Amino acid sequence: MLNELDKEFKLAYDKVSNLNEIIATDIMLKLYAFDKQANFGNNFSFNGLHDVRNGFKFNAWAQLKDMEPDEAKAEYIKLVNIIINPKF
């Protein structure tokens, strides 16, 4: 059974996944890193050999080392809310 944070996290994931607009690359990297940290913690994996794109993704995730999964979920939700409801 999902707790309230997990429900909000899934809802935020679904919202951002269904956006029709393009999200800036740096924001996408943050979302990727928060998602990975939330779901896998410090169990980093990197199988891109010399792939620069995967290197950026891995680096973004590695910067969140030791962040608690619940904190990563909360940061992901916060970022999605900013993307969907930007404050001018």
User: Which DSSP state fits 25?
Assistant: H
Fold designation for 4-84: Acyl-CoA Binding Protein (1.20.80)
Number of C-alpha atoms within 13 angstroms, CB side, residue 63? 12
Q: Look at residue 88 and tell me whether its pLDDT is greater than 50.
A: no
Task: Kindly list the domain boundaries of the chain, sorted by start residue.
Answer: 4-84
Q: Is the dihedral of CA 68, 69, 75, 78 positive or negative?
A: negative
Q: Are 69 and 5 within 8 A, CB to CB? A: no
Residue 16 contacts by C-beta under 8 Å, 6 or more apart in sequence? 23, 31, 80, 83, 84
What are 40-72's pLDDT values in tens digits? Answer: 998 887 666 568 888 888 899 999 999 999 999
pTM of the model: 0.88
Residue 27 is predicted with a pLDDT of 96
Q: Look at residue 1 and tell me whether its pLDDT is greater than 80.
A: no
For residue 75, give Cα distances in angstroms to 50, 53, 82. 29, 23, 11
What are 3-48's pLDDT values in tens digits? Answer: 999 999 999 999 999 999 999 999 999 999 999 999 999 888 766 6
